[in-house]
Amino acid sequence: MEEKYYKVLGGEGLSPSTKFDYTSYLPRGSKAGKWLPKIANAKIRMEGYYVSKYWNMWYSRGARVFEVEIRGGSKGDSAAVEDQICCAQIRLLKDVTEDVERLIKDENFNLGLHNTGARNIGRHNTGDANTGNRNTGKHNSGDFNTGDANAGIDNVGDGNRGSGNVGSRNAGHSNTGDGNEGSFNTGSFNTGNANSGSFNVGSRNSGKWNLGDYHTGFFNTKEPLAVMFDKPTNVKVSEVRLPKWLNRKDCKKAFEEATPADAALALKLPNFDYEIFEKITSISKADFDKKLKEK
């Protein structure tokens, strides 16, 4: 079944947000309105025509609701229910305001069960204009959000597009902080993944204002060399390859299950030091000697 999208306008035919006048593009009787001018490079959160499958998130008493046809829809990167999409071109097919008003009794309608608030589609929402379930706040699209205008699941904060964020205005998943574009960041305004700190562009940085990956410190641009066994190496951090068995939580058990050839790969790590290795893993030189004698 083809999905239906809607455009909510003010009663006078103006866009509530941009005040663009749609009057000359309105449908006349059973005849659809003409296509609006095409907007090149339309993209979510940028320039374009915005429509939604969920008119309830944008409706208020006195508004007019139109079913629309779209071209060039950009759905963005949300992992949850999409609250709106941005289109290069739309046309208004028909006015469905009367259908909407028959569906709702008053401005504080809820389409769902056990909602506290208004204009919710879903269940157990506390707040207004939520599409999803068990949201606390307003204009959430998804489930279990605490805050406002989240698109995703299990967000705590406002304006997140993704899931599992603690903070606000994150685009991605499992961020702690604000304004991150990426996932698993701890800090704020990072572009990339798994950064600890703020204002980093790249991934796995610890510090601030780094450009690139694996930096520890501030204002770095070149990927650092790895420090291993308490000594610097000539190997970049991204080039370090640990034996597979050293990527398991219980490395002692993994060592016992490894083949002699796999176990020996650890001895080839840059700056390998038996004493340091045993201190960290409890695997001694004697353990290696015994393992390497196995057939």
Model pLDDT for residues 207-216, shown as the tens digit of each residue: 999 999 999 9
Answer yes or no: is pLDDT of 80 > 70.
Answer: no
Q: How many CB atoms lie within 10 A of CB 252?
A: 11
pLDDT of residue 79: 45
* Separation of alpha carbons 155 and 176, rounded Å: 10
88, 86, 48, 92: which is closest to 67 by C-alpha? 92
**pLDDT class for 81, splitting at 50, 70, 90?**
low
* Least confident piece of the model among 129-138, 214-223, 256-265: 129-138
* Separation of alpha carbons 54 and 140, rounded Å: 12
| Phi, psi angle pair for 67, to nearest 5° | -75, 140
State the chain's mean pLDDT as an integer: 89
Q: How far does CA 232 lie from the centroid of its chain?
A: 36
* Separation of alpha carbons 174 and 68, rounded Å: 35
pLDDT in tens, 145-192: 888 888 888 889 988 888 889 999 998 899 999 999 999 999 999 999
**pLDDT class for 294, splitting at 50, 70, 90?**
confident
pLDDT in tens, 4-33: 999 999 988 999 888 899 999 999 988 999
Q: For residues 91, 29, 97 and 152, what is the CA-based torsion angle, rounded to 10 degrees?
A: -20
**Between residues 29 and 67, which one has the greater pLDDT?**
67
* Separation of alpha carbons 32 and 66, rounded Å: 10
Is 150 within 8 Å of 137 (Cβ atoms)? yes
Is 183 within 8 Å of 192 (Cβ atoms)? no
- Which pTM value belongs to this model? 0.62
pLDDT in tens, 100-158: 888 776 667 777 777 888 878 788 888 888 888 888 888 888 888 888 888 888 889 98
Handedness of CA 49, 52, 55, 60 (dihedral sign): negative
Is 91 within 8 Å of 42 (Cβ atoms)? no
**pLDDT class for 2, splitting at 50, 70, 90?**
low
Answer yes or no: is pLDDT of 284 > 60.
Answer: yes
Domain ranges in the chain are 5-103, 175-223, 244-292
Which long-range contacts link 24-30 to residues 24+ away (Cβ below 8 Å)? 25/91, 25/92, 26/66, 26/92, 26/95, 27/66, 27/92, 27/93, 27/94, 27/95, 30/94
